[in-house]
Amino acid sequence: MIDPTSPLTSNGNILLYVGHPTIMIITWLTFDDTLHSFVEYGEKQMNMSIEGSCAVFIDPENSALWRYIHRATLTQLVAGTTYRYRVGSNYGWSSVFSFTALSPREGGGYELAVYGDLGNENARSLGKIQKLAQDGEIDMVLHVGDFAYNMDTDNGRVGDEFNRQIEPVAAYVPYMTAVGNHEVS
């Protein structure tokens, strides 16, 4: 059971690829300020650590809705190497996840899952995408809009639930997004 009042609660880990296989940006959300943002990572043991940054998001339509967005950039990664990692602070840590630094597949190129219109309800393809991501069958995801359908609904709880639902994908492969009509409104 997730306790949304706990500063330890991660609201979703999202890996973002930034144009080079030796770099990975890890972004995660919490409901409270944790003062510091850390990623512990490594190949077999998580023997490396990096401090990230934190920015507060306050919904301009609802000043009671605050989310803390943490971000850390891992550099000097080795293409094709699998890294284990966890995010957290002195208040507590996430589960351990893993990702493989991007490397072109045999014959060149990457395997992408590209989709849009994935909401909290009726997300029939999510289980298949999770399996593909965790089994290394895809290298990244491009979500072309309409995530969760109105993420700000119910004081942001719709967006929070959506982030929890995609975490089993986004914590393992880069998850890139493009704005759809539901994100514009």
In a domain, 6, yes or no: no
* Sequence-separated (6 or more) residues with CB below 8 Å from residue 1: none
In a domain, 45, yes or no: yes
Question: What total of structural domains would you count in the chain?
Answer: 1
Q: Which domain holds residue 108?
A: 13-184
In a domain, 8, yes or no: no
Task: Provide the CATH number for the domain around residue 117.
Answer: 2.60.40.380
Residue in the block written with tokens 């995408």: 129
Predicted structure pTM score = 0.84
Q: Residue 19: what pLDDT?
A: 66
Q: Residue 138: what pLDDT?
A: 95
In a domain, 133, yes or no: yes
Mean pLDDT, 10 residues at a time, the chain of 185 residues: 41 64 91 93 97 90 84 95 95 94 90 82 82 94 76 76 86 84 63
Residue in the block written with tokens 């014959």: 107
In a domain, 3, yes or no: no
Q: Residue 25: what pLDDT?
A: 92
In a domain, 7, yes or no: no
Q: What does the chain come to in residues?
A: 185
Q: Residue 131: what pLDDT?
A: 95
